[in-house]
Amino acid sequence: MEQHLKYIITTIAGMALLIVLYSEKKEVSYMSENFNDLTPEEERVIVYKGTEAPFSGKYDKFFESGVYTCRRCGSLLYRSDDKFDSGCGWPAFDDEVPGAVKRVPDRDGRRTEITCAKCGGHLGHVFEGERLTDKNVRHCVNSISMDFVPAHNIKKAYFAGGCFWGVEYYLEKLKGVLDVSSGYMGGHVPDPTYRQVCTGTTGHYEAVKVIYDDRKTDFETVAREFFEIHDPTQEGGQGPDIGSQYESVVFYNNDEEKAVTGKLIEILESKGYETVTKILPVLHFYRAEEYHQDYYINKGTTPYCHGKVKRF
């Protein structure tokens, strides 16, 4: 009986491990084509969950204005406004970009590990209750797990092209894109809910905010991709999603972005595409509810009304 019980326990544990490994593999496979090459030391820390020596990391006493991204996949992790000097020997943050960091029980059974939510890369550990800042949280992060993007190199672009789930899914794959979030733009209702926008009466568009590093990409590159992942010739919606909230729009921050968008539309029309995409100035962007963020990644599926079509 005892042997039989041990067999059952071992089998269940084995199945649980396979489920975890499959889940991690599915998470990682989405981004793996865009992974940066790692040095052996970076791989030791990021992939095999090692730790760099205290006070040795380049970001320990570094306090320039900007953002910190995952060294492996480039996703946005932390903002410099949330960084503080904890004296522990590693970079410390008391907050993360929403949805960017995953907490998991550490293998030592005592601490809580933090990993990049997009690629699973090891960042370090998180501690609470130390009272080092008002937020009472310390993300203790290996410098080697991160890259830094100076504030003056961070740019934002806004697009609407049907259900924001699909637009976010594809634009996040672009090299140089740090983060894409789903939300609502335009309209006359402040801080609208998804249910309100879905009525088509608030005047909002389902939009995405793209944050990118202008050293690695530019507005035109992102806009070209936008025109190739949705149908800019469909009026009144996108695919099966019909309604004004699903219309195609490029929102411009300045005259340069407006001119670039106009040029791209002219190119498309010269190729026979009867483009209906609107060009509007940037309005207030309301971030959508958290369950909309990284929707397809979290669900493990792919978009049903968006797809890559070569048009340029």
Residue type, 123: L
Beta bridge partners, 122, equal: 115
Contact call for residues 246 and 289 (beta carbons, < 8 A): no
Instruction: Render 85-143 in DSSP notation, one character per residue.
Output: --SSSS-EES---TT-EEEEE-TTSSSEEEEETTT--EEEEEEES--SSTT-EEEEE-G
C-alpha closest to that of 122 among 181, 62, 43: 43
| Secondary structure class of 193 (helix, strand, coil) | coil
**From 70, 116, 140, 305, the catalytic residue:** 140
Please indicate whether residue 70 is annotated as part of the active site: no
| Annotated catalytic residue 140 | yes
Report residue 67: phi and psi, to 5°. -135, 160
Q: Look at the block and give the residue holding tokens 């800042």.
A: 133
- Alpha-carbon distance of 63 to 289, in angstroms, equals 31
The catalytic position among 70, 116, 163, 305 is 163
Reading phi first (left if > 0) and then psi (alpha if -120 to 50, else beta), residue 197 is in alpha
**Whether 106 contacts 112, CB under 8 Å:** yes
Active site residues per annotation = 140, 163
